[in-house]
Amino acid sequence: MDQAGRTAWPGAPAGPEATLDAEAAELLPFLKQGARADLQTAAAQHILALTGTGPGRAVLAGQAGLLQALAELAAAAAPAPAVARDAARALVNLAADPSLHEQLLAADPGLHARLLGRALDPQWPWADEAAAALANLSREPAPCAALMETLAAAAPGSGLERLVCALCTPGYNARAPLHYLGPLLSNLSQQPAARAFLLDPDRCVVQRLLPLTQYSDSSLRRGGVVGTLRNCCFEHRHHEWLLGPEVDILPFLLLPLAGSEDFSEEEMERLPVDLQYLPPDKQREPDADIRKMLIEAIMLLTATAPGRQQVRDQGTYLILRELHNWEPEPDVQIACEKLIQVLIGDEPECGMENLLEVQVPEDVEQQLQQLDRQEQEQLEQQQRELAGGSKGEGPAPT
Amino acid sequence: MEGSQPDAADDRHMDAFLDKFRSQPYRGGFHEDQWEEEFDKIPLFMKKAPSEVDPKENPDLACLQSIIFDEERSPEEQAKTYKDEGNDYFKEKDYKKAVISYTEGLKKKCVDPDLNAVLYTNRAAAQYYLGNFRSALNDVMAARKLKPHHLKAITRGALCHLELKHFAEAVSWCDEGLHIDAKEKKLLEVRAKADKLKRTEQRDVRKAKLKEKKEQNQNEALLQAIKVRNIRLISEAAGEDEDTASEGLGEIFLDGLSSENPYGARLSLDDRGRLSWPVLFLYPEYAQSDFISAFHEDSRFIDHLMVMFGETPSWDSEQKYCPDNLEVYFEDEDRTELYQVPPKSTLLQVLQHPRYFVKALTPAFLICVGASPFCKNFLQGRKVHRVK
């Protein structure tokens, strides 16, 4: 793996750039469609090797013709499987380098649409590679926005809807597990248009993602889904709907954080049904980053007072209390503590349980409202920082 | 008929017709006092069709019916008529009749798949409201065979699965429907409901499993406690005494431990690891009995007797059953020999006696008044041992 956190396939050490340039140019004829199969295979392998190193990639980036040929090969149905696969993997490596995005798109303007088409094609054997390339591309804001536009412009049923479908349907593509669609969606969910679709109350979209928070086969997919959900939780106006019965997001955020606790009967009844009577072998989410994102998502849901109440009422404190006792990672522990503070703070004093009925003198009332506004602004500022800090995320891919 | 000018001949006929009524009353009119009923009998003015059409009562209606149900019309037309009839019954909530109509329509085996799909789907709806969910499901599946993307059929199918508590299938059908129309409100609603019910059901399964495990653990602890004390058990059925060391017998007793005995009490273990037994005191002299629901194994017989016989019981006509007079016995399993128990013994001491066998997990003891004629009689001819 070359750059940390980016998906890449291994390559070979590079030689001096000038010869590389020339070498690369020489490969172009062999990459064209219709070239001799064995030569094509060798050429593709060579390109893949080049993409494994920084200088190699830079060289390739300068060769628009090569890039275009590569893109075509990666999506072509005709050539030998190894060729398409290597070409696709070369693209993944190239896409991992943000400095190359511009050239890639310049060389092949239809790149996004082509990659999306392949990633979401249930029959395409290299759909994973296409998805990985897209995941890499989407880490940067500009390509991410461009991708979102491409998706939005797609025919109904082919754009984001298809992406969510592919992510949520087990066995969508028999030859590609498509876990990379997780981080792709997570990155896309930073775009307001994506969130608008995901949180459309007239559809059933976000609901389909919820069970994936327990998807044990891939932390990549799981992390992508959790990241998506967390980004969705920034939408204050949707909190009531998210916490309500039509979506019921909270149990799905809490379940990965819960172990097999022996709660009393009374405590158990306070929890959402999904968290009651968990079997003795229940495991918590093993990935610390994902645990942290789950806590962040719940924290976001406590932004409004009604949301806070809902989160409290569903027994969140009980789960977090146990999590805190178990949590080995210090930064996750801190996040946990902060959330617990929000949950147990603000307890009404005796006689003030129903704040609506307390008589507040007018000047005090105004002061309180002022404080409220300030607090809200601070919170939003914090969340903007959180969102900015989490751009181009992805749990460390393998 | 042509022309705007009235035919003169017709005019004259009309005049002659009307002139008649100067002398003759018109007989074809309604009767003043029952004109409303008569009105309702004319098919055109009927607000509601009669459920049965009797040709004698209602010749006009019977006539009309024979026209629309004429066998000479095409199967499609006939099927459509039956469909409409079924729909009318459906609107009136007469679901049984609706089912019959739709069935007739389907019997015509017309070649229009849309019409047949609708007939199946509508019949499914009627069956649904009659509570015949499986029949409804069959109809819906038949409808989908003809038209796989028939949204109403899919919705109805999801509703049926919901009623049949097939929550996963209900969600799955909703998803199929939403694939066709992502915003279909009813499907969204049913999906949310089914999903929640599915998760609740999963919770119930987990809860039951946990409870079962807990109970099993408790029962094993009880059995272990009995074993450790070397107390001999006998089931109701078994005729021979067997060691509780044998596994098979242990299982029989585990079952017995779970259920309450007829008196509603069961063997229990307290947090100090001491057992309490449901115990029967039998008074053969008067054929009476007393049931002690929780006789702690470390408590003594005399302690219980003191409390129970603080006042002599109502059946004690001679008023002689006082704690000091009472003698406690148990029979060995062969019911031949008696063993006298010193009242100051604890229950545990007696239960551990090598000849004591606990039957049906409820130890029983015989009590009578020592030196009474009954007691002497009772003991006569039987071997009596004194228990230490």
Spatial distance between the Cα atoms of B326 and B313, rounded to a whole number of angstroms: 13
Mean pLDDT of chain B, nearest integer:
85
Confidence of residue A355 (pLDDT cuts 50, 70, 90): very low
Spatial distance between the Cα atoms of B55 and B49, rounded to a whole number of angstroms: 13
| % of chain B at pLDDT higher than 90 | 51
pLDDT at A394: 43
Spell out which residues of chain A touch residue B178, defining contact as CB-CB under 8 Å: 203-204
pLDDT, mean of residues A104-125: 87
Does any CB of chain A come closer than 8 Å to the CB of residue B214?
no
Q: Render pLDDT for B135-152 as a digit per residue (tens, 0 to 9).
A: 999 999 999 999 999 999
Output B56 or A209, whichever has higher pLDDT.
A209
Confidence of residue A138 (pLDDT cuts 50, 70, 90): very high
pLDDT at B124: 97
Strands B326-331 and B364-369: antiparallel
Q: Which 3 state secondary structure label does DSSP give B102?
A: helix
Output B270 or A74, whichever has higher pLDDT.
B270
Q: Render pLDDT for A120-131 as a digit per residue (tens, 0 to 9).
A: 999 988 899 999
Q: Render pLDDT for A143-184 as a digit per residue (tens, 0 to 9).
A: 899 999 999 988 877 789 999 999 999 899 999 999 999 999
Buried b (16+ CB within 10 A) or exposed e, A291-300: bbbbbbbbbb
Task: Flag whether pLDDT at B52 surpasses 90.
Answer: no
pLDDT at A86: 85
pLDDT, mean of residues A378-385: 74
Q: Render pLDDT for A199-235 as a digit per residue (tens, 0 to 9).
A: 999 999 999 999 999 999 999 999 999 999 999 999 9
Spell out which residues of chain B touch residue A161, defining contact as CB-CB under 8 Å: 182
Interchain proximity A273–B203, CB inside 8 Å: yes
Give chain A as a 3 state SS string.
CCCCCCCCCCCCCCCCHHHHHHHHHHHHHHHCCCCCHHHHHHHHHHHHHHHCCHHHHHHHHCCHHHHHHHHHHHHCCCCCHHHHHHHHHHHHHHHCCHHHHHHHHHHCCCHHHHHHHHHCCCCCCCHHHHHHHHHHHCCCHHHHHHHHHHHHHCCCCCCHHHHHHHHHCCCCCCCCCCCCHHHHHHHHCCCHHHHHHHCCCCCCCHHHHHHHHHCCCCHHHHHHHHHHHHHHCCCHHHHHHHHCCCCCHHHHHHHHHCCCCCCCHHHHHHCCHHHCCCCCCCCCCCCHHHHHHHHHHHHHHCCCHHHHHHHHHCCHHHHHHHHHHHCCCHHHHHHHHHHHHHHHCCCCCCCCCCHHHCCCCHHHHHHHHHHHHHHHHHHHHHHHHHHHHCCCCCCCCC
Task: Flag whether pLDDT at A384 surpasses 80.
Answer: no
Structure tokens at B252: 């029989």
Output B258 or A308, whichever has higher pLDDT.
A308
Does any CB of chain A come closer than 8 Å to the CB of residue B191?
yes
| Least confident stretch, B203-207, B261-265, B277-281 | B261-265
Distance to chain A for B192, nearest Cα, Å:
6
Spell out which residues of chain A touch residue B195, defining contact as CB-CB under 8 Å: 207
pLDDT at B5: 59
pLDDT at B196: 96
Distance to chain A for B264, nearest Cα, Å:
24
Structure tokens at A62: 């300068």
Q: Is the pTM of this model over 0.80?
A: no
Task: Flag whether pLDDT at B263 surpasses 70.
Answer: no
Interchain proximity A204–B191, CB inside 8 Å: yes
pLDDT, mean of residues B242-264: 55
Mutate to test the interface with B, among A167, A172, A277, A278 (most CBs of B within 10 A): A277
Task: Flag whether pLDDT at A366 surpasses 90.
Answer: no
Q: Which of B175, B191, B206 sits opposite A277 (nearest CB)?
A: B206
Structure tokens at A378: 């601070």
pLDDT at A6: 56
| Least confident stretch, A98-112, A303-317, B61-75, B241-255 | B241-255
pLDDT at A389: 54
Spatial distance between the Cα atoms of A255 and A195, rounded to a whole number of angstroms: 23
Output A34 or B353, whichever has higher pLDDT.
B353
- Do residues B97 and B88 lie in contact, with contact meaning Cβ atoms separated by under 8 Å? no
